[in-house]
Structure 1
Amino acid sequence: MEKRVYWLKSSVVRSDELLEGIIESATDAIIAIDEEHKIILFNPAAEKIFGYQVEEALGKDLSILLPEKVASKHFSFIKEFLKTGDSPVIGKVLEGVARRKNGEDFPIEISRSATKIDDHWIFTAIVRDVTQEKEMERRLLESEKLAAVGIAASRIVHDIKNPLIAIGGFVFSLLKKESSEEKRQKLELILREIKCLEKLLSDISEFAKPLKLEIKEADLTTVCQEAIEIYRPRLEEEGIEIELIAPEKPVKVFLDEARLKEVLFNMFQNALEAMSATGNGKLTVEIVPREQTVQIIIRDTGPGIPEHVLKQLFTPFFTTKKKGTGLGLSISHKIIEAHGGKIKARNYEHGAEFTIELPYRPG
């Protein structure tokens, strides 16, 4: 059978130069492995996407680029292909998960191919990092979901607020006239519960309405310092120490000071509640300037956040507190995103850590 030729032979460009140029200039990662699962090709785009230099990757097992579960499945797929000469993933574009050198897992689109050279199989993958696309999808779905929640929330507030005000007024009137201590206690209990409901309605209303930011240039260190001084007495009452770690030079950021303080107060309150069980602890607020953004890292020495809670932490109305509304962190998330920033949470060895990342100027 005559061998087909897929490029025009030329005296100017040799086939090996053509292939090398394509591999080096490709924007997607091109990675090839041998039958032993060892990396034998790692192009510049792969270096950029995965964080390894070519010298670090060549000759290594492909598992350095994959989470543990994915690596074991991939190795099984190679063994099965070598036995049968067939695989359901060859020739298809599929979604998957890969791992960077720094340990971060990220979403990918991958297409695989296999070719036999000198009686040995070579497996090639073209890998595209789809982190940004997935983040855009997530934000779009979240904005649609939040818009629907906002409409429902507005109606709830409208339908409940007026009757609740009337009930509160009647209870307060009865409380002034009642002489029986037992009945007074019951009325005071009703009044406290009404105030809790009013707080819930206030949070729902805040969550539902569009954010209007008053952006101006401010020194982030000063903003954090002011928030800390306002909250310090409440923390010290519980035996909790608070420390600010900041650069010596001012960190100028365009932001809404009042809104950012609202987020910080929410973070401080959560940390306070997490550490109050032990009666002491330390809260650290660190400002870390970066090239394009600045981070505010808030760490506590509490028990940390359970994994199942971490996944839903910023979901509206999700709470583990007996009297929480489940909107504090959702509103904080909304405020930071309105600044063009990000907020995320994780556990570290001594407790929980929240990272707020802000651009120096909202886009």
Structure 2
Amino acid sequence: MQAAIDYEQLVSAIGDAVIISGPDGAITLWNPAAEYMFGYTQEEALGQSLDLIIPERLRGRHWEGYDKTMATGQTRYGHDLLKVPAINKKGDAMSIAFTVALLHGEGGDITGIVAVIRDETVRFQEERALKKRITELEAKASAAAGAG
């Protein structure tokens, strides 16, 4: 026997940010993990544009894709993990990874998009530092081999 699931409690308890935005891109759900990750309270975020967390230089491309998804009812990112830059309330750059899913009303119309987001900033910085170190070591090894 399966117990009823309290979806509101689930979304509030989950450790990843869960953000839902409507067809117009206005935020309609902002869970506690999103508050923690981006620094905006639920009251500050609800009703606002997703531009809240999208770096200005990427907004044009984001909205082009968002509007196309709303018009066609299809996203090519349904199962792919997206890794993109974001910004928090302080304006600090972040690296986030997320998946998206379309939400549909009873008539089949798209009512919004849900994104489940994880902060990858530390991992991204560590990976970049490791790649830089590998490049430096390869250059030293190449120089040593050439001198020998």
Pairwise TM-score range, normalised by the shorter structure: 0.7 to 0.9
Task: Pick one of 35, 41, 56 that aligns with 1:68.
Answer: 56
Checking the alignment, whether the CA contact within 8 Å between 2:102 and 2:110 is kept in structure 1 is no
* Residue 148 (1) aligns with residue 138 (2): yes
Query: Deviations 1:142-179 (Å, cap 9, x if unpaired)?
Result: 222222333455578x77xxxxxxxxxxxxxxxxxxxx
Query: Deviations 1:2-47 (Å, cap 9, x if unpaired)?
Result: xxxxx92x3xxx43xx212221222211100011111011111111
Spell out the pairing of 1:269-284 with structure 2 (5 A cutoff): none
1:148 & 1:82 partners in 2: Cα distance? 47
Count of residue pairs the alignment pairs up: 146
In structure 2, the residue matched to 1:49 is 37
Checking the alignment, whether the CA contact within 8 Å between 2:70 and 2:110 is kept in structure 1 is no
In structure 2, the residue matched to 1:124 is 114
SS at match of 2:99: strand
Closer, same or farther: CA 114–148 of 1 in aligned 2, 3 Å: same
Name the structure, 1 or 2, with higher relative contact order (CA <8 Å, separation 6+).
Answer: 2
In structure 2, the residue matched to 1:336 is none
In structure 2, the residue matched to 1:343 is none
**Stretch moving more, 54-63 or 132-141:** 132-141
Query: Deviations 1:240-295 (Å, cap 9, x if unpaired)?
Result: xxxxxxxxxxxxxxxxxxxxxxxxxxxxxxxxxxxxxxxxxxxxxxxxxxxxxxxx
Closer, same or farther: CA 120–146 of 1 in aligned 2, 3 Å: closer
Task: Pick one of 87, 90, 104 that aligns with 1:102.
Answer: 90
SS at match of 1:73: helix
Matched to 1:128, the amino acid is R
Spell out the pairing of 1:165-184 with structure 2 (5 A cutoff): none
Considering only CA atoms, is the larger Rg found in Structure 1 or Structure 2?
A: 1
1:27 & 1:122 partners in 2: Cα distance? 21
Closer, same or farther: CA 151–82 of 1 in aligned 2, 3 Å: closer
1:99 & 1:31 partners in 2: Cα distance? 15
Matched to 1:114, the amino acid is L
Closer, same or farther: CA 44–27 of 1 in aligned 2, 3 Å: same
* Residue 133 (1) aligns with residue 111 (2): no
SS at match of 2:103: strand
2:47 & 2:116 partners in 1: Cα distance? 18
Checking the alignment, whether the CA contact within 8 Å between 1:26 and 1:45 is kept in structure 2 is yes
1:139 & 1:70 partners in 2: Cα distance? 24
Q: Which runs of no fewer than 5 residues in structure 1 stay unpaired?
A: 1-6, 160-363
**Under a length normalisation based on structure 1, what TM-score does the superposition of the two structures give?**
0.37
2:67 & 2:140 partners in 1: Cα distance? 52
Closer, same or farther: CA 78–153 of 1 in aligned 2, 3 Å: closer
The sequence identity of aligned pairs, in percent, is 27
1:54 & 1:45 partners in 2: Cα distance? 10
Checking the alignment, whether the CA contact within 8 Å between 2:23 and 2:110 is kept in structure 1 is yes
Matched to 1:144, the amino acid is I
Q: Which runs of no fewer than 5 residues in structure 2 stay unpaired?
A: none
2:53 & 2:14 partners in 1: Cα distance? 19
In structure 2, the residue matched to 1:35 is 23
Checking the alignment, whether the CA contact within 8 Å between 1:62 and 1:71 is kept in structure 2 is no
* Residue 19 (1) aligns with residue 19 (2): no
How far has the Cα of 1:98 moved from its partner? 1.1
In structure 2, the residue matched to 1:113 is 101
